[in-house]
Amino acid sequence: MKAVITFHSIDSSKSVLAFSPALFEKLLDGLARSNIPVMPLEELLQSATTHGVALTFDDGMRSVYSEALPIIRDRNIKAHLFLATDTVRDGNRGRKKASAFPGFEMLNWDELGKLQDCGFQIDAHTCSHPDLRQLSDQEVVGEFERCDEIITDRLGRTPHYFAYPFGFVDSRLEMLAGRRYRACFTTKLTYLNRSERLSALPRLDSFYLQHGKFAEEIFSTATRSYLRARGILRWGRGLIWNKTHA
């Protein structure tokens, strides 16, 4: 089995975007105990790879550097950070836009460089973290281009992977993002399987791995059943949300 896991902040607060450092260690220990390798996306997405997990962190919270990095470095594993570039603590615009995530301190470029040096790949999550469905084609592509340019300019590496802000996606966005990036990620709550399109791959949100033994046994029958039920509920809520906000 294969899965991509989404994290935002690694901290002990009660925020829906937080996953505690202790539980993060338990999750990685559980993977090691079950002989499930943690690998970068390019390796996980190869068809020859049948078993594994990739770790992804969305947005650019500073706790990825202060809390997650020491844990990851100790285990010598690699991860991805989907960065919304306007949130970076660098210059006036960065400070202002960081309020998109109230209560969270955001990364600066120095910390992002250190993350990259320690095996993180910094990938794309737009500049301003908008609901891309509300933007014109030109505005959407502008978000991709500016985000990629800023990351390339600052860190010397062009992003290959992309995560849709809020997981909001439709067929038009899939077409626009799918022809730019090697793979694009949603918030659809399922494991990876062969039928998924590269322009809209699912991920397991760590929010749903916080209870019981789910974090320690992410591929167990109990965890799979739980996530399937939660995924159906979320899908139902998404339909209602789309109808009321169309």
Alpha carbon distances (Å) from 56 to 153, 185, 229 = 22, 10, 23
Residue selected from 4, 30, 45, 59 as contacting Zn ion according to rule CB under 5 A: 59
Q: Do 121 and 80 form a contact (C-beta atoms < 8 A)?
A: yes
**Counting beta carbons within 10 angstroms of the beta carbon of residue 20, is it exposed (0 to 12), middle (13 to 18) or buried (19 or more)?**
middle
The residue (of 59 and 148) whose beta carbon lies closer to Zn ion is 59
Interface residue with Zn ion, options 18, 28, 58, 97 (CB under 5 A): 58
Stretch that binds Zn ion, among 65-73, 137-145, 146-154, 163-171 (CB under 5 A): 163-171
Task: Quote the least distance from Cβ 172 to Zn ion, whole Å.
Answer: 20
Amino acid of residue 36? I
Show the tokens assigned to 81: 């950070």
Given the rule CB under 5 A, which of 58-66, 112-120, 177-185, 220-228 is the region that contacts Zn ion?
A: 58-66
6 CB neighbour count, 10 Å cutoff: 24
> Phi, psi at residue 123, to the nearest 5°?
-115, 180
Tokens of 222: 């109990």
Residue 104 vs 214, nearer CB to Zn ion: 104
- Kindly state the smallest distance separating residue 149's Cβ from Zn ion, in Å: 19
Residue with smaller CB distance to Zn ion, 166 or 226: 166
- β-strand partners of 205: 6
User: Segment contacting Zn ion (CB under 5 A): 54-62, 65-73, 109-117, 135-143?
Assistant: 54-62
Q: Shortest gap between Cβ of 58 and Zn ion (angstroms)?
A: 4
Q: How far, in Å, are 36, 58, 80, 172 from residue 118 at the CA level? A: 21, 17, 11, 36
* Residue nearest Zn ion, Cβ-based: 58
Residue 12 tokens, joined: 């002990």
Site string for Zn ion, 76-115 (x = CB under 5 A): ----------------------------------------
Nearest CB to Zn ion, comparing residues 56 and 223: 56
* Residue 123 makes contact with Zn ion by CB under 5 A: no
Nearest to 91 by CA among 145, 139, 154: 154
Binding-residue total with Zn ion (CB under 5 A): 3
Cβ–Cβ < 8 Å for 221, 198 = no
In the complex, the smallest distance separating the C-beta of residue 165 from Zn ion, rounded to whole angstroms, is: 5
CB 84 within 8 A of CB 112: no
Using CB under 5 A, list all residues that contact Zn ion: 58-59, 165
